Amino acid sequence: MVIDVELLRSDPAKVEENLARRRNPAYLELLARVREKDSLWRVSVREADRLRAARNALGQQIAAARKEGRPVDEMVGASRSAPAALDAAAEAEGRLRRERDDLLRRLPNLLDPSVPYGKDDTENVVVTTWGTPTEPRGPDRPHGEALEALGFAEFERGRRASGAGFYYLRGPLVLLDLALQRFALDLLVARGFTPVVPPFLLRREPYEAVTDLADFEKVMYKIDGEELYLIATSEHPLAALYQGEILDEGSVPLRLAGLSTNFRREIGGHGVDQKGLFRVHQFAKVEQFVFCRPEESTAIHEELRANAEEVFRRLEIPYRVVNVCTGDVGTVASHKYDVEAWFARQRGYREVVSCSNCTDYQARALGIRLGKAGKPGKVVPHTLNSTAVATPRALVAIVEQYQRADGTLEVPAVLRPYLDGRDTLGG
RNA sequence: GCUGAGGUAGCCUAGUCCGGCAAGGCGCCAGCCUUGAAAGCUGGUGGCGGUGACGCCACGGGAGUUCGAAUCUCCCCCUCAGCGCCA
């Protein structure tokens, strides 16, 4: 996760102006420190290179002399004093480069000009609203209670077995969960996406390239005794799929539909309506992920957003789309839309989709470039990701809207083909 | 888990025993040749710094020995094969 150091040198004012929009003075200070370290490093490189050149020249003289059978002791003696100065210069060069890179990695991605200026999620800008907010038809109770009453979920026993945030799904709800996944996957496949089931565990190295380091320890589950992490979303292993490779220009835009279980520590935030499935440590998600040329990413961002909207439109769940503001957009994304579905019982819009254009920020850190066969290029592709459906939260929206007065659960019409045509679950 | 073999440029490979400018092939680019193309021939084809000439770096990563490390020593990472265990 790095921005282009070349840009810091060629147009620092542009970078500074962009970072300023994030309303965090620490970034500007960070930028100044990166630039200072970079200047010092460039000086140190020249000095270290000069000493290395001298050493190499002497080494070659020794080699040549030895080859011709001339005595070399004198020359070896003379070059014996060289290492101390060189070691010091090389140490300084390496240290400055590491310091610069450590600081550089902490700089967030550059924001797209269309990102609205604002301090937090209250200042996100609504760009689209679809459907009319509905009233709950069923008993006025949180979805968790409704699901337990139907025998569709076990929250108490889930907590006992694995702790808060874990749950058992059972019976028809399992089938409904799978129906949602298959529905979203089919929709994406019809639009040119290739389904991918990625590894659910990822090494630290690629993980650091694709996420915000500051969030890392708060969000990720680590495997004890291994440098492996449970994935928080299939976005991460999908981004790492072509780590260190040259992507053929002819193969992009490359549209992938990730299907995975995701694991998040999600510390904090548990109100009454968040109990149950709203905020959990483990959930299934169908994800859209794209590698593309830089000039395509803005249009593809809209395409991913349209796909995500289509999922909820076909489920007939009202939603709105917000353009996430500068203070809420996060480190990795250059531009982000959230789709917020209508939750009938909560009488409010809640986030169900996050749709991001990460530009070259992830791909550069992963060492991915575009090129033709046999000819690697310098252009770094853009990566984009968007939820298609994260099932637990979608299930909550469905329960809040589709539960009937008698407590049974109506199946959204679009999911019935995946449930042997059934239109009702429970009862 | 045990044993063994490996990691060299976009790809494939040599060099490692015995330390001295990383050789060759494929692909790609350009030029020559050609009516055109292919073949053939010639040159080029990584990263960093430098306006530039040029220099430095790069053989999985790190440390060490040495005037000098792809090559010797140590630590670590990863891959593959065989055996074992296992859904």
Alpha-carbon span A10 to A175, nearest angstrom: 56
What's residue A269's pLDDT?
A: 59
Residue A110 lies inside a defined structural domain of this protein: no
Provide the CATH number for the domain around residue A404.
Answer: 3.30.930.10
Is A181 found in the same domain as A138? yes
Q: What is the pLDDT of residues A353-363, one digit of tens each?
A: 999 999 999 99
Any catalytic annotation for residue A350? Answer: no
Alpha-carbon span A427 to A409, nearest angstrom: 8
Q: Which residue among A105, A137, A160 closes a domain?
A: A105
Give me the catalytic one of A249, A310, A351, A410. A351
Is A212 found in the same domain as A357? yes
Per-residue pLDDT band for A266 (boundaries 50, 70, 90) equals confident
Span A307-312, average pLDDT: 98
What ipTM was assigned to the predicted interfaces of this complex? 0.85
Q: What is the pLDDT of residues A126-164, one digit of tens each?
A: 999 999 999 999 888 999 999 999 999 999 999 999 998
Residue A112 lies inside a defined structural domain of this protein: no
Nucleotide with minimal C1' distance from the CA of A5 is B48
Alpha-carbon span A315 to A181, nearest angstrom: 12
Any catalytic annotation for residue A99? Answer: no
Per-residue pLDDT band for A1 (boundaries 50, 70, 90) equals low
Nucleotide with minimal C1' distance from the CA of A61 is B20
Neighbours of A133 (CB within 10 A): 15
Average pLDDT, chain A: 91
Is A327 found in the same domain as A206? yes
Residue A114 lies inside a defined structural domain of this protein: no
Any catalytic annotation for residue A279? Answer: yes
Contact A118, A327 (CB under 8 A): yes
Q: Which domain holds residue A165?
A: 121-425
Is A65 found in the same domain as A199? no
Residue A370 lies inside a defined structural domain of this protein: yes
Q: Give every strand in the sheet of A375-376, ordered side by side.
A: A246-248, A369-372, A375-376
Is A172 found in the same domain as A60? no
**A47-56, A80-89, A392-401: which range is least confident on average?**
A80-89
Q: Which residue among A105, A133, A153 closes a domain?
A: A105
Alpha-carbon span A372 to A9, nearest angstrom: 29
Is A399 found in the same domain as A252? yes
Any catalytic annotation for residue A264? Answer: yes
What's residue A189's pLDDT?
A: 98
Residue type present at position A92: A
Is A147 found in the same domain as A52? no
Distance A248 CA to B38 C1' (A): 26
Give me the catalytic one of A100, A279, A320, A350. A279
What's residue A270's pLDDT?
A: 60
Q: Terminus-to-terminus CA distance in chain A, angstroms?
A: 51
Q: What is the pLDDT of residues A101-126, one digit of tens each?
A: 989 989 999 999 999 999 999 999 99
Give me the catalytic one of A297, A334, A354, A386. A354
Span A193-208, average pLDDT: 92
Is A130 found in the same domain as A89? no
Span A51-58, average pLDDT: 87
Q: Which residue among A105, A140, A167 closes a domain?
A: A105
Any catalytic annotation for residue A351? Answer: yes
Per-residue pLDDT band for A268 (boundaries 50, 70, 90) equals low
Question: Which residues, in sequence order, are CB contacts of A205 under 8 Å at separation 6+?
Answer: A227
Distance A369 CA to B45 C1' (A): 17
Q: Give every strand in the sheet of A228-230, ordered side by side.
A: A201-203, A228-230, A221-222
Is A229 found in the same domain as A92? no
Residue type present at position A203: R
Residue A95 lies inside a defined structural domain of this protein: yes
pLDDT beyond 80 at A271? no
User: Which residues are in reach of strand B, CB within 7 A?
Assistant: A 5, 42, 45-46, 48-50, 52-53, 55-60, 62-63, 66-67, 72, 76, 79-80, 82-83, 94, 203, 227, 246, 371-376, 378
What's residue A91's pLDDT?
A: 87
What's residue A62's pLDDT?
A: 87
pLDDT beyond 70 at A272? no
Place of tokens 């070399």: A72
pLDDT beyond 80 at A74? no
Is A259 found in the same domain as A175? yes
Is A145 found in the same domain as A74? no
Alpha-carbon span A349 to A308, nearest angstrom: 16
Provide the CATH number for the domain around residue A48.
Answer: 1.10.287.40
Is A82 found in the same domain as A192? no
Most confident range (mean pLDDT) of A22-36, A41-55, A174-188, A255-269 is A174-188
Question: Which residues, in sequence order, are CB contacts of A171 under 8 Å at separation 6+?
Answer: A151, A152
> Interior CA angle at A299 toward A4 and A1, to 5°?
25
Give me the catalytic one of A22, A106, A320, A393. A393
Residue A357 lies inside a defined structural domain of this protein: yes
Alpha-carbon span A87 to A76, nearest angstrom: 17
Give the count of domains, chain A: 2
Span A231-237, average pLDDT: 95
Nucleotides of chain B touched by protein CB (<7 A): 10, 20-21, 26-29, 45-50, 55-57, 63, 66-68, 77-78
Residue A379 lies inside a defined structural domain of this protein: yes
Which tokens go with A75? 């020359």
Residue A115 lies inside a defined structural domain of this protein: no
